[in-house]
């Protein structure tokens, strides 16, 4: 995995200096610490930082030119079927490297942008046709690799990360509609970013630039019209077959490889399948010595023992978590407040000392209906017995909000949230289930013009466009998650936290053959009145012990509220939420912020308070980094 950057000038007066590109590349060095390079043309500059995974020699260094030097590519990602493509389309070509980069460039020359439909992997890339002065920029189908861009009358610039993009002469103005959305979701969905006129390329799209013409085209979308009518047993066997191949393909590397092993179903399946191909596979899990509710290492050790892996448990305490929080805050360049990024950063930091590539189980929950919200939605749509029981006991549950810090508190939090969505329609309910903080609560704190809130609301409705008003199945819900939650929260988090530590993470569940197949299956194959991830569990039940198969979903979280009240107190009180700063900043109502601080320091932990507080801390830290003079 790597980092890419570039600038295309529409105005020959603009200076494409080496300094600009060098500064942009410097911001990407953790993504690609092994080498970097750049190339200049009459109206274009391209840069690349390399993390060497396949063909680690200098033969595969980038920017990579073809033999005629008429085409050049900068590429961040992996194409797992590149050998198959090479044999199918380019068997007579004499390659100078053994990298997937050269295959992609030569195949583009042969079939053009149709290449994106046959590549199996993840990527953000740019290919420049020098003779025709045409630049193609592409992002993978599901958004595993990020790509930011800025388009003006004078130039078009792009980069793997926002911090890199901002080294070009781009104005910094906050998009307050994005900010309002952020405080609800804890992230900012594509195509928008935290800055006006700076965008993220949507997954499954490519940009074509020729002279001063910029076009954005879609090359892929999940097909929601075709239904797979295979019987259950046939589908179950096909899921297993596709997953087996997806794991095997993602073990291709010229560097040490291993797996993240949380002890959950998804990472356990990946580990079990990978162990068929790698003896004494390296596996890694993270545990929390100060809070056993968040510690899952005992389940990970069951799998490690079963498959005789070379297992490493990374145990951290509250002090170590606190120390690494600032590393996370320093690396992210756009407000992003999914707190599970912190343990993922710590895990990646330690894993990168041993290997350069790790397989993960990301994507399985969205694909097979694994989240608690999927269970809640199923109960409501199908009006099961649990629905009627909770509705009957609603007045009692209204008295409790719970918290995320204990098993009983988390149960009460979930029941309270479930009760609050009982009377909503499908679209409203989807957005509430995706949100950590309700808009009405956010309104108590932020001083934003109503037009920004209206624009944010319109965007939110678009995120739920796949949700159907009258639907008993859950495929529409899962499709919406694939488009909203997966690329903008889960995959973004994995990319940023792993790349901050120069570690490549691959998920077999993101294989497009698997996703296309499973998305067309009836939702009854994925969830029923008693079981979630039904067909995944049945297809792989021979691989997993009963204790793993039957265990409930557990989030990858950490208890932050105690740190807010102790370790973080001075940072909150004297810096990020200091009275004069808040008033001069003009974004928050200080009266509400003052009451919030009182709640934090008094140890209150109701509902999703932790998530909202963390989202404010993340934003304030980011604001000071990029806007405070």
Please state at what angle helix 372-382 crosses helix 385-392, rounded to 10 degrees.
90
Model confidence band, residue 314 (pLDDT cutoffs 50, 70, 90):
very high
Helix (H) or strand (E) holding 238, with range, is helix 232-249
Q: What does the pLDDT read at residue 566?
A: 82
Q: What is the pLDDT of residue 42?
A: 86
- Asked if 404 and 564 count as a contact pair (C-beta separation under 8 A), the reply is no
CB 320 within 8 A of CB 277: no
What's the chain's average pLDDT?
90
Distance of CA 517 to the CA centre of its chain: 22
Using DSSP, state whether 172 is helix, strand or coil.
coil
Comma-separated ranges of CATH 3.40.50.620 domains in the chain: 232-367+482-550
Tokens of 247: 């794991």
* 258 has pLDDT over 80: yes
**Contact call for residues 387 and 379 (beta carbons, < 8 A):** yes
- Tell me how far the alpha carbon of residue 277 is from its chain's centroid: 27
DSSP letters, 295-363, are --HHHHHHHHHHTT-EEEEEEE-HHHHHHHHHHHHHH-SS----TTHHHHHHHHHHHTTT-SEEE--TT
Q: In this predicted model, what pLDDT tens digit does every residue of 183-229 receive, in sequence order?
A: 999 999 999 999 999 999 999 999 999 988 999 999 999 877 678 88
**Predicted local confidence at residue 422, as pLDDT:** 77
263: pLDDT strictly greater than 80: yes
Query: When comparing pLDDT for 386 and 459, which is higher?
Result: 459
pLDDT at 44 over 80: yes
- CA separation, residue 78 to residues 127, 187, 205, 490, 627 (Å): 15, 26, 17, 19, 35
Looking at residue 13, its pLDDT comes to 58
Bridge-partner residues for 532, per DSSP? 527
Tell which CATH architecture fits domain 2-218: 4-Layer Sandwich (3.60)
Tokens standing for residue 75: 């590429």
Q: Is residue 586's pLDDT more than 80?
A: yes
Average pLDDT over residues 48-70: 83
Closest among 342, 356, 364 to 286, alpha carbons compared: 342
* pLDDT level of residue 293 (50, 70, 90 thresholds): low
Question: Which pLDDT value is given to residue 301?
Answer: 95
Average pLDDT over residues 112-120: 98
Number of H helices and E strands in the chain, helices first, is 30, 17
Can you give the pTM of this predicted structure? Answer: 0.94
Tell me which of 2, 49, 434, 540 is the catalytic residue: 2
Residue where the block lists tokens 């890199």: 164
The residue that leads in pLDDT, 383 or 82, is: 82
**Residue 629 CB: number of other CB atoms within 10 A?**
2
Cβ–Cβ < 8 Å for 78, 119? no
Is 79 among the residues known to form the active site?
no
Q: Are 496 and 377 in contact (CB under 8 A)?
A: no
Q: Which among 592, 602, 595, 591 has a CA at the least distance from the CA of 569?
A: 602
Mean pLDDT of 131-157: 96
Query: Residue range 54-67: average pLDDT?
Result: 80
Q: Locate CATH 3.60.20.10 in the chain.
A: 2-218
Q: Mean pLDDT highest for which of 160-164, 424-428, 437-441?
A: 160-164
Question: What's the first-to-final CA gap in the chain, in angstroms?
Answer: 34
- Helix, strand, coil shares of the chain, percent, nearest 5, are 45, 15, 40
Q: Where are the beta strands (DSSP E) in 179-269?
A: 198-200, 205-210, 213-218, 257-260
What tens digit of pLDDT does each residue of 380-417 get?
998 877 766 766 666 666 655 655 556 566 666 666 67
Judging by beta carbons within 10 Å of its beta carbon (0-12, 13-18, 19+), is residue 89 exposed, middle or buried?
middle
CATH superfamily of 232-367+482-550: HUPs (3.40.50.620)
Give the pLDDT confidence of 500-515 residue by residue, as tens digits: 999 999 999 999 999 9
Position 538 scores a pLDDT of 97
Distance CA 437, CA 459 (A): 16
Mean pLDDT of 159-180: 97
Per-residue pLDDT reduced to its tens digit, 603-629: 776 656 888 999 999 999 999 999 975
What confidence score (pLDDT) does residue 405 get?
Answer: 57
Give percent of the chain above pLDDT 90.
71
Report how far residue 495's alpha carbon sits from residue 283's, in angstroms, rounded to the nearest whole number: 19
């Amino acid at each position: 995995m790597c980092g890419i950057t570039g600038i295309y000038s529409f105005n020959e007066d603009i200076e494409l200096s080496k300094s600009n590109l060098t500064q942009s590349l410097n911001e990407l060095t953790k993504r690609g610490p092994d080498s970097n390079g750049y190339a200049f043309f009459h109206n274009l500059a391209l840069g690349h930082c390399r993390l060497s995974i396949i063909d680690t020699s200098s033969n595969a260094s980038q920017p990579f030119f073809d033999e005629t030097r008429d085409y050049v590519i900068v590429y961040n990602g992996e194409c797992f079927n590149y050998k198959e493509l090479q044999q199918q389309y380019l068997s007579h070509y004499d390659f100078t490297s053994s990298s997937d980069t050269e295959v992609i460039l030569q195949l583009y020359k042969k079939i053009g942008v149709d290449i994106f439909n046959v590549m199996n992997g993840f990527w953000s890339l740019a290919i420049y046709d020098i003779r025709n002065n045409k630049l193609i920029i592409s992002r993978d189908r599901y958004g595993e690799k990020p790509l930011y861009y800025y388009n003006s009358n004078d130039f078009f610039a792009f980069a793997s990360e926002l911090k890199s993009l901002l080294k070009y002469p781009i104005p910094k103005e906050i998009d307050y509609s994005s900010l309002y959305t952020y405080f609800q979701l804890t992230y900012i969905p594509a195509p928008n970013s935290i800055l006006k006129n700076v965008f993220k390329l949507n997954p499954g799209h490519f940009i074509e630039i020729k002279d001063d013409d910029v076009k954005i085209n879609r090359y892929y979308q999940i097909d929601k019209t075709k239904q797979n009518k295979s019987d259950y047993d046939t589908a179950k066997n096909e899921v297993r077959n596709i997953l087996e191949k997806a794991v095997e393909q993602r073990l291709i590397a010229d560097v040490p490889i291993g797996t993240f092993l949380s002890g959950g179903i998804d990472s356990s399946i990946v580990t079990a399948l990978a162990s068929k191909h790698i003896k004494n596979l390296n596996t890694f899990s993270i545990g929390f010595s100060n809070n056993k509710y968040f510690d899952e290492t005992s389940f990970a050790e069951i799998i490690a023992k079963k498959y005789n892996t070379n297992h490493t448990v990374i145990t951290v305490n509250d002090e170590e978590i606190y120390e690494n929080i600032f590393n996370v805050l320093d690396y992210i360049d756009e407000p992003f407040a999914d707190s599970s990024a912190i343990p993922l950063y710590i895990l990646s930091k330690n894993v990168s000392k041993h290997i350069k590539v790790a397989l993960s189980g990301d994507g399985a929950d969205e694909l097979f209906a694994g989240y608690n919200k999927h269970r809640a939605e199923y109960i409501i749509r199908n009006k099961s017995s649990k629905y009627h029981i909770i509705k009957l006991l609603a007045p009692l549950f209204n008295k409790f909000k719970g918290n995320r810090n204990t098993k009983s508190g988390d149960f009460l939090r979930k029941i309270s949230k479930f009760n609050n969505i009982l009377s909503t329609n499908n679209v409203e309910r989807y957005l509430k289930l995706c949100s950590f903080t309700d808009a009405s609560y956010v309104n108590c704190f932020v001083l934003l013009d109503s037009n920004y809130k209206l624009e944010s609301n319109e965007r939110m409705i678009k995120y739920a466009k796949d949700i159907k008003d009258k639907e008993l199945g859950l495929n529409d819900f899962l499709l919406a998650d694939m488009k909203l939650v997966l690329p903008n929260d889960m995959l973004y988090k994995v990319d940023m936290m792993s790349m901050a530590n120069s570690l490549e993470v691959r998920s077999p569940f993101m294989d497009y053959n698997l996703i296309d197949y499973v998305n067309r299956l009836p939702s009854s194959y994925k969830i029923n009145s008693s079981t979630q991830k039904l067909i995944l569990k049945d297809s792989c039940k021979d691989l997993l012990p009963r204790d793993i198969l039957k265990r409930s979903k557990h989030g990858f979280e950490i208890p932050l509220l105690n740190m807010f009240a102790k370790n973080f107190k001075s940072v909150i009180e004297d810096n990020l939420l200091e009275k004069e700063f808040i008033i001069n900043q003009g974004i928050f109502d200080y009266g509400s912020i003052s009451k919030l601080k009182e709640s934090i320091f008094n140890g209150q932990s109701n509902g999703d308070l932790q998530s909202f507080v963390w989202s404010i801390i993340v934003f304030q830290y980011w604001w000071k980094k990029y806007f405070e003079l």
